[in-house]
Amino acid sequence: MANLLWLQSGGCGGCSMSLLAAEGPDLITTLESAGIHLLWHPSLSEQAGSEVRTLLQQILDGEITLDLLCIEGSLMRGPNGSGRFHLFGGTGVAMIEWVRQLAARARYTLAIGSCAAFGGITSAADNHTDATGLQFEGELRGGLLGSDYRSGGELPVVNVAGCPVHPNWVTETLIELALGEGAPERLDPLARPRLYADQLVHHGCTRNEYYEYKASAEQLGQQGCLMEYLGCLGTQAHGDCNTRPWNGEGSCTRGGYACINCTAPEFEAPRHAFMETPKIAGIPVGLPTDMPKAWFVALASLSKAATPQRLRENARSEQLIYPPTPQKRKQ
Amino acid sequence: MSRIIVGPFNRVEGDLDITLDTADGRVQAARVNSTLYRGFEQILLGRPALDALVYTPRICGICSVAQSVACAQALADALGVTATRNGELCRNLTLANESLSDLLTHFYLFFMPDFARAVYADQSWYETVAQRFQAIRGDATRQVLPARAEFLHLMGLLAGKWPHTLSIQPGGSTRPVQRQERLRLLAIISGFRRFLERTLFGDDLERVAALRTPAELDAWRDEKPWQHDDLRTFLHLSDTLALAQLGRASDRFMCVGNYRLEGSSAVPSGVWTPQRGRQPLDPLQIREDVSHAWLRAQAPLHPAQGETQPVAEKADAYSWCKAPRLDGQVMETGALARALVAGDPLLTALVLEQGGTVHTRMLARVLELARMVPKLQQWVQQLAPDEPFCTPAPAPADGEGVGLIEAARGSLGHWVSLRNGRISRYQIIAPTTWNFSPRDQRGQPGALEQALEGAPVRRGEQDPVAVQHIVRSFDPCMVCTVH
């Protein structure tokens, strides 16, 4: 059995809430069948108060092995390096101090969500709580544990980034590690599991036909592509949100609003409004991944010229105006 | 007199510790410390107005849609835009989906597992209850998680995902519903309804929702053995452990109203006390007191003028939480308050007998599940796929706005000020800010602090089980509390 300990700090708890919605099978069954034993999770476990304090001490004393340490929420070092913005309840000790000590004992350390990975929402604006990720501070390596940190299993912190995470991103990463299949080459350059980070949100987007013809929605709620006007970063964002949807059939773009690239460091502080596309000379500043600018401009103007009426009109409407015309067999 | 510190607390959302002064086997005084400060009210300053829709749901992963709805209403108020009827229906559906999921999660995953603790091993009911409700291992968890996940498919359709959607906008919803999706929504809600009827109520929803007096509730309970369903099990435990005598606070209840549709609210707003019954609520009488919070000292302010400036050291401070008061009074908020303000006859009669207690708070949540599900079915039927879902918001300029709604845990308020299209002030009061507030400048303890006074402490108990029941009877959300 692999022992798992889950702690929360400067976040919203939303990654845990998302995880509880794991399906096929449910979370408890998934963990059980992967041989993962939950030492403690703040939403699920019976133990409270002194029982938890005793458990943590036993881990630090080496009496209980810690295989998987999951940290959710950013690590707040303020004010003045004291960590006082979060003293772990009942202990009087800053959560950053607990995390430093426990990470030294862990076989694998996982950052659950973009807060724990990179600092996330809590580090937005002027970051007055001095929030950071475990091993990244925004795009820079370092963070709470430092860039040289390796867990007992010789891995850096595994950044299961997302705001929130998809339940399967967490369960599959845990299973991979529990099976002993974790390896540095299974992580992308931001230490995100390639299990889900090797895809783009654009893949499988239901608005793809609109994207192909640059038939764009101009207002929220319309059916067209969200990239040109409404801030969508799906062509740049890493994640399999549209090939493996959320809560049954959903994703951000299916929900009618932009992908805000929540699996990336510093997504929380764009230099523009989230739901507007910044442009220079009419061309979006962020181009699709691996796309040369000149080609994008050429293809976009060509495809705009070729946009069928069906897509041009439907793109700017909440409801379908023109259904696709049935193809006739050749006479 | 001796002092114990209970914490960390789990099966609450977020982190919490409580200092208890005990003597003669009772809690004499309690101080509730919300241990986490993140500072959303500062993060929002200077951002473009509509960016608040990205940040505010991320205050809380369990009340995410509630935060979105309060934010969208505050922005709509400031921008002078009215949501479409479809948009209001979608908003009500997603908000109810989240709230009912929370009520269910609270009952099964947060509250009931405490009865499987070893301290109760000598009780006649222990083995049955432990088998069903033990944390992680109990049968109930395995039934509830899939039912909850399936019910949240409603979010997949209407909100893209849960938590943290951007579908909820000042002018309505970004997610037009197609004809086949409307039917799918009905199927999802029916599935959830069947689950509740089979597992929680052991009876038709309507029969439970129609119980009007304590005598009717007792008669219903006695129709079947206590092991028949989970509500009867709770009623049995509540009886044998006298939960009706545990955790009484100030008995002053507040609800800001909820589920707006074309100018009227399905859940009414008001204040309720045993002496005066229902009275109108005046939100202008709200003040936030910072005398015992690690925040810069100042006189209590209305949230439209509110400020949030953390300080690391301050005499008398013991929490990051402000102390909101209505006309100087401590208020309790939540499902029980909603039922009392709405004039629910069963809960009114029970509270007149026993006050707001662990028993009445829990019963109010369970009954709200029974009463709300048919509402969701009606709202889906009212969706008109050919009508508009979202009115575009005008370009933000200057303005002030308020959004007052009910989250699962009680009254939630957002107050926003805009200057030149950017946020110049944003203040939030969450349900648990009310319920778990520290003392105010007059020394009045907050609602939970009052509810804990007199709680029994067994010999040698480090984490008194009665305290666990009382704390969780409020279903606290600590990440919302301080934000």
Interface test with B, best of A84, A96, A220, A260 (most B CBs within 10 A): A220
Range of the domain at B19: 2-482
CB atoms within 10 A of CB A309: 10
pLDDT for the residue A293: 87
Counting residues of chain A whose pLDDT is more than 90, the rounded percentage is 92
On chain A, the residues whose CB falls within 8 A of the CB of B136 are 28, 38, 44-46
Instruction: Provide, as residue numbers in chain A, all residues whose Cβ is less than 8 Å from the Cβ of B37.
Output: 76, 85-86, 129
Nearest residue on chain B to A79, judged by CA atoms?
B312
What percent of chain B stands above pLDDT 70?
Answer: 100
**Does the pLDDT at position B457 exceed 80?**
yes
**DSSP annotation string for A180-229:** T---GGGB-TTS-BHHHHTSBTTTT-TTHHHHHTT-B-SSTT-SSBSTTT
Report the pLDDT value the prediction gives residue A331, as an integer from 0 to 100: 62
- Region A240-245: what's the mean pLDDT? 96
- Tell me how many domains chain B contains: 1
Q: Tell whether the model's pLDDT for residue A330 goes beyond 80.
A: no
- The CATH superfamily label for domain A199-318 reads Cytochrome-c3 hydrogenase, C-terminal domain (4.10.480.10)
CATH class of A2-197: alpha beta
Using CA coordinates, name the residue in chain A closest to B421: A273
Query: Residue A133: CB partners within 8 Å, gap ≥ 6?
Result: A74, A75, A111, A114, A115, A116, A117, A118, A119, A120, A143, A144, A157, A159, A265
Handedness of CA B273, B277, B282, B283 (dihedral sign): positive
* Confidence band, pLDDT 50/70/90 cuts, at residue A328: confident
Residue B302, exposed/middle/buried by CB under 10 A (0-12, 13-18, 19+)? middle
- Tell me, what's the pLDDT at B196? 98
Which residue of chain A has the CA closest to B57?
A12
Interval B178-211: pLDDT, tens = 999 999 999 999 999 999 999 999 999 999 999 9
Name the 3-class secondary structure at A119.
Answer: coil
pLDDT at A329: 80
B470-480 residue pLDDT tens: 999 999 999 99
Residues 163-182 of B with CB under 8 A from A: 163-167, 169, 172-176, 178
Residue B187, number of CB atoms within 10 A of its CB:
11
- A243-268 pLDDT tens trace: 999 999 999 999 999 999 999 999 99
Residues of each domain in chain A carrying CATH 4.10.480.10: 199-318
In angstroms, the CA B157 to CA B184 distance is 9
Residues of A in contact with B465 (CB under 8 A): none
CATH 3.40.50.700 segments of chain A: 2-197
Average pLDDT score, chain B:
97
User: Confidence class of residue B312 from pLDDT cuts 50, 70 and 90?
Assistant: confident
Q: Is the ipTM of this complex over 0.95?
A: yes
Q: With a cut of 90, say whether residue A286 has pLDDT above it.
A: no
pLDDT digits (tens, 9 = 90+) for B116-171: 999 999 999 999 999 999 999 999 999 999 999 999 999 999 999 999 999 999 99
CATH number at residue B116: 1.10.645.10
CB contacts under 8 A, B 18-77 vs A, are: 33, 35-39, 42-48, 50-51, 53-55, 58-62, 64
What pLDDT score does A283 carry?
Answer: 83
Residue A56 binned pLDDT confidence (cut-offs 50, 70, 90)? very high
Please tell me the predicted confidence (pLDDT) of residue B294: 97
- Distance between CA atoms of residues A234 and B434, nearest Å: 40
3-state secondary structure chain B: CEEEEECCCCCCECCCEEEEEEECCEEEEEEEECCECCCHHHHCCCCEHHHHHHHHHHHCCCCHHHHHHHHHHHHHHHHCCCCCHHHHHHHHHHHHHHHHHHHHHHHHHHHHHHHHCHHHCCCCCHHHHHHHHCCCCCHHHHHHHHHHHHHCHHHHHHCCCCCCCCCEECCEECCCCCHHHHHHHHHHHHHHHHHHHHHHHCCCHHHHHCCCCHHHHHHHHHCCCCCCCHHHHHHHHHHHCCHHHCCCCCCCEEEEEEEEECCEEEEEEEEEECCCEEECCCHHHEEEECCCECECCCCCECHHHCCCCECCCCCCCCECCCEEEECCECCEECHHHHHHHCCCHHHHHHHHHHCCCHHHHHHHHHHHHHHHHHHHHHHHHHCCCCCCCECCCCCCCCEEEEEEEEECCEEEEEEEEEECCEEEEEEEECHHHHHCCCCCCCCCCCHHHHHHCCCECCCCCCCCHHHHHHHHHCCCEHHHHHC
Radius of gyration of chain A (CA): 22
Q: For chain A, give the mean pLDDT.
A: 96
- pLDDT (tens digit per residue) in B418-432: 999 999 999 999 999
Q: pLDDT value at position A285?
A: 84
Least Cα separation, residue A245 to chain B (angstroms):
8
* Mean pLDDT computed over B252-261: 98
Note whether A49 contacts B310, CB cutoff 8 Å.
no
